[in-house]
Amino acid sequence: VSQDIDGAEILHSLLNAAWLQSLLKRLVFSVPHYTGWLLIDIRSLPSCSEEAKELYHLLRQPHLQALLSAHDTIALKDYEPVLPPMPEDLPDDEEATRIVCLVKNKQPLGATIKRNEITGEIFIARVIHGGLADRSGLLHAGDRIIEVNGFPVDGMEPEQVIQVQARSHGTIMFKVIPITERPVHNQTMLYVRAMTDYSPQQDPAIPCADAGMSFRRGDILEIVDQTDALWWQAKKLPSSTACAGLIPSTNLLKRKQREFWWSQPYQPHTCIQTWLSTDICSFSSAGFRRSMRLCRRRAHSTTQPSCNTRCPSSCYSALNSPYEEVVRYQRHSEDVHRLIVLLGPSGVGVNELRRRLVEMNPNIFQGPVPYTTRAPRGYEESGREYFFISREVFENMVYHNRFLEYGEHKGNMYGTSIESAKEVLNSGKICVIDIEPNALQAVRTHELRAFVIYVKPPTLERLRETRQDSYITTNYYVNRPFKDEDFQEMEEAARKIESNYWQFFDHVIINNELQDSCVELLTAVMRAQDEPQWVPASWIRPTSES
């Protein structure tokens, strides 16, 4: 399933299909002696096929027998409490009520309530996907609660209702008038990458902080319910819990980001049982590497064309939207490889790792040939070390947004073009480049499908230990030993990169021991090509907004 995307999706939608769910429910109640029935059925076939024999063999395995017997036991069990029979002489005008009895366990009930301020009636405001109330299938948003454990609740404050239910032991009984027209849930599967951090505990506007779900930039969220325009329900992937949590919808989060403070009046909801701020995301575009990376064979940019001139749609949407829609993508073997992008604070070892990867197998890994306006040296050949072009041609390329990055060094222009990267990819090799973080949006495109690896410095202590025999190149010195201030600068630059770009990283390597980092890099690069990854939906469906 982890390898076959189409298969997994088909299986997921099949298992979620309403007809199958209702069939299964009926099966549980109507065919309790499932095991015996199935086995007899197979054995009684006059001429068993090989498949039937194999199935028979599988079903006789002890673990399957145990599973089916557990199923039968549960299906046959009578659950407490036994409710009194419905009175036969119900008046015609009596509203249909439902008695819902739930067995309390350590889990929260997974519902919030609200009070109609005019009538004083108490309603279920929201049922949390996968929570106890939801799994019971008996309580729904909009149901009016009449009684809790026999106490009439009309006119009570929501907090008092909670106290009543909190006092109950073992089971909790609700008498409700079910909502007549339940909203139709035709949810489509939606996965997003969070572009900002969120903490419900610090959000005064959330209907119930305990029902909220915190997330960090870069987390992948499965949106399971978008019925409410303001508060969605989501699970963080990989999900270990069945119960979803409340998160602000795209529009709400955008508004929070714009206004910094959510100032909408809100209808207070109260959690039925104790469960579960918004850090405003900011984007700045600072260059974090040294002005010139002299140690690199090719010089680089510090100047970037502004993001919106370069990639109007993808960039804008990623920066403006607090969630980026993502899909699971697996490269087909005949497709070109994904571009491998390395970035990190200056001196951390980005260039070293890239160089070692290419050296490891130059038939598989290759860097793009950069462009320059400087004159070729005696041994240099155009198209090998650089493409040597005139300043006029270079500027024309800049004008037409053909560079991923470009910059000036000692009066000469240097740049890496999109075409150079594509050329490597089209030759069947894996193109590996390193970039400044502010060039990220230029590589996160449908055609390059960049897999971004962030090289993170280890702790100061580990930097001191591991870089004893290493050399740094600064604006003023080529290859001088590292000093403590270099490490501190590196840490500071790393903090800035992380606070602005963390959400775009597909993989993070802490560059501690160089050998380990090389192995980790190679593994990550091969995974990027061969295993399913979350990518922006706009790469796969170029017309969709991400």
Ligand X SMILES: Nc1ncnc2c1ncn2[C@@H]1O[C@H](COP(=O)(O)OP(=O)(O)OP(=O)(O)O)[C@@H](O)[C@H]1O
Distance CA 496, CA 284 (A): 9
**Residue 348 near ligand X by CB under 6 A:** yes
Query: Taking the complex as a whole, how short is the minimal distance between the CB of residue 493 and ligand X, in angstroms?
Result: 10
135 vs 356, beta carbon nearer ligand X: 356
Q: Which of 175, 290, 409, 444 binds ligand X (CB under 6 A)?
A: 290
**Residue 347 near ligand X by CB under 6 A:** yes
Query: Taking the complex as a whole, how short is the minimal distance between the CB of residue 287 and ligand X, in angstroms?
Result: 11
Query: Taking the complex as a whole, how short is the minimal distance between the CB of residue 529 and ligand X, in angstroms?
Result: 23
Contact range with ligand X by CB under 6 A, out of 2-10, 132-140, 231-239, 343-351: 343-351
Distance CA 261, CA 205 (A): 9
- List, in order, residues 6 or more apart from 122 with CB less than 8 Å away: 113, 114, 115, 116, 144, 145, 153, 154, 156, 158, 161
275 vs 482, beta carbon nearer ligand X: 482
Q: Position 303: which residue type?
A: T
> Helix axis angle, 50-59 relative to 34-43, nearest 10°?
150
**Residue 470 near ligand X by CB under 6 A:** yes
What are residue 431's DSSP bridge partners? 366
Instruction: Count Cβ atoms below 10 Å from residue 306 Cβ, excluding itself.
Output: 9
* Range 505-524, binding ligand X (CB under 6 A): 511, 514, 517
Distance CA 465, CA 382 (A): 41
**Residue 438 near ligand X by CB under 6 A:** no
Q: Which of 336, 350, 357, 535 binds ligand X (CB under 6 A)?
A: 350
Distance CA 72, CA 343 (A): 56
**Residue 144 near ligand X by CB under 6 A:** no
Q: Which of 277, 445, 466, 546 binds ligand X (CB under 6 A)?
A: 466
321 vs 517, beta carbon nearer ligand X: 517
**Residue 416 near ligand X by CB under 6 A:** no
Distance CA 544, CA 546 (A): 6
* Range 296-335, binding ligand X (CB under 6 A): 296
* Range 352-381, binding ligand X (CB under 6 A): 352
Query: Taking the complex as a whole, how short is the minimal distance between the CB of residue 480 and ligand X, in angstroms?
Result: 10
21 vs 291, beta carbon nearer ligand X: 291
149 vs 470, beta carbon nearer ligand X: 470
418 vs 497, beta carbon nearer ligand X: 497
Output the DSSP codes for 232-281.
Answer: EEEEEESP--S--EEEE-HHHHHHHHHHSS--------EESS----BPPP
Q: Which of 39, 75, 179, 295 binds ligand X (CB under 6 A)?
A: 295
Query: Taking the complex as a whole, how short is the minimal distance between the CB of residue 218 and ligand X, in angstroms?
Result: 21
**Residue 457 near ligand X by CB under 6 A:** no
Number of residues counted as binding ligand X (CB under 6 A): 21
Distance CA 346, CA 509 (A): 15
Q: Position 166: which residue type?
A: A
**Residue 349 near ligand X by CB under 6 A:** yes
Residue with tokens 């050329």: 423
What are residue 324's DSSP bridge partners? 193
366 vs 511, beta carbon nearer ligand X: 511
Contact range with ligand X by CB under 6 A, out of 236-244, 376-384, 469-477, 532-540: 469-477
Query: Taking the complex as a whole, how short is the minimal distance between the CB of residue 352 and ligand X, in angstroms?
Result: 3
Query: Taking the complex as a whole, how short is the minimal distance between the CB of residue 474 and ligand X, in angstroms?
Result: 8
21 vs 479, beta carbon nearer ligand X: 479
Beta-sheet strands, E only, within 289-385: 323-329, 340-343, 365-366, 371-372
Helix (H) or strand (E) holding 134: helix 132-136
Query: Taking the complex as a whole, how short is the minimal distance between the CB of residue 238 and ligand X, in angstroms?
Result: 29
200 vs 345, beta carbon nearer ligand X: 345
174 vs 504, beta carbon nearer ligand X: 504
Q: Which of 70, 471, 484, 541 binds ligand X (CB under 6 A)?
A: 471
Helix (H) or strand (E) holding 453: strand 451-456
**Residue 453 near ligand X by CB under 6 A:** no
**Residue 442 near ligand X by CB under 6 A:** no
Q: What is the separation of C-alpha 483 from the centre of its chain, rounded to a whole number of angstroms?
A: 39
Q: What share of the chain is helix, strand, coil (3-state, %, to 5)?
A: 35, 20, 45
Cα-only R_g, the chain: 30
Q: Which of 158, 212, 344, 415 binds ligand X (CB under 6 A)?
A: 344
Contact range with ligand X by CB under 6 A, out of 107-115, 203-211, 422-430, 465-473: 465-473
Query: Taking the complex as a whole, how short is the minimal distance between the CB of residue 289 and ligand X, in angstroms?
Result: 5
Residue 434 vs residues 51, 52, 219, 346: alpha-carbon distances, Å: 54, 56, 24, 11
Q: Is 312 helix (H, G, I), strand (E, B) or coil?
A: helix
In the structure, how many helices (H) and strands (E) does the chain have? 18, 24
- In the bound complex, which residue of the shown chain has the CB atom lying closest to ligand X? 349
Q: Is 222 exposed, middle or buried (0-12, 13-18, 19+ CB in 10 A)?
A: middle
Contact range with ligand X by CB under 6 A, out of 271-279, 331-339, 340-348, 440-448: 340-348
State both tokens at 497: 């990169």
Q: How far apart are the first and last CA of the chain?
A: 26
94: DSSP letter: S
**Residue 472 near ligand X by CB under 6 A:** yes
**Residue 351 near ligand X by CB under 6 A:** yes
Q: Phi and psi (nearest 5°) for 137?
A: 70, 10
Binding mask 270-289 for ligand X (x = CB under 6 A): -------------------x
Q: Which of 270, 304, 346, 538 binds ligand X (CB under 6 A)?
A: 346
Residue 363 vs residues 68, 350, 360, 424, 442: alpha-carbon distances, Å: 54, 21, 9, 11, 26
What are residue 103's DSSP bridge partners? 171
Residues forming the site for ligand X (CB under 6 A): 289-290, 293, 295-296, 344, 346-352, 466-467, 470-472, 511, 514, 517
